[in-house]
């Protein structure tokens, strides 16, 4: 029935193994997205020399650096000790879910549209430069 090893259907994920990986994945996700945006902004800095262009892209980079700091901090301090995120710990203190939702809404709903508007303005400017 199986040709190249065991199937994944019979495997039960172990929370003690998967928990730290999920936390690390969240931190890497925050860093990955922000670094992609920073690298695109730095690449766009080379296209034009105007003050408005540099100021806008510098603001994008600054916001992304703030997002990396806040995102990493929130993922790592959500529970004390951090192992309480994946294993029951009686003396753990965690950020209440309502407050963590506020962080999620601000991070994804508050800052992302601002960056999307800036990205749209940059795209329009790039289009005008090319044509």
Place of tokens 């994008």: 60
Which of 34-38, 84-88, 108-112, 121-125 shows the highest mean pLDDT? Answer: 34-38
Report residue 131's pLDDT band, with 50, 70 and 90 as the boundaries: very low
pTM: 0.70
Check: CB of residue 125 under 8 Å from CB of residue 44.
Answer: no
Check: CB of residue 59 under 8 Å from CB of residue 114.
Answer: no
* HSE toward the beta carbon, residue 57, CA cutoff 13 A: 22
Weakest-pLDDT range from 2-6, 58-62, 124-128: 124-128
How much is the average pLDDT of 99-126?
Answer: 65
């Amino acid at each position: 029935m199986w040709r190249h090893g065991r199937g994944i259907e019979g495997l039960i994920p172990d929370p003690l193994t998967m928990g730290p990986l999920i936390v690390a994945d969240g931190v890497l996700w925050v860093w990955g997205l922000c670094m992609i945006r920073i690298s695109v902004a730095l690449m766009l800095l080379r296209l034009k020399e105007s003050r408005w262009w540099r100021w806008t892209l510098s603001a994008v980079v600054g916001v992304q650096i703030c997002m990396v700091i806040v995102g990493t901090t929130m993922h790592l301090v959500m529970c004390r000790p951090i192992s309480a995120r994946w294993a029951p710990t009686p003396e753990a203190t965690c950020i209440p879910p309502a407050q963590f939702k506020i962080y999620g809404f601000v991070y994804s709903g508050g800052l992302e549209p601002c960056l999307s508007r800036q990205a749209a303005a940059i795209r329009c400017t790039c289009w005008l430069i090319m044509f």
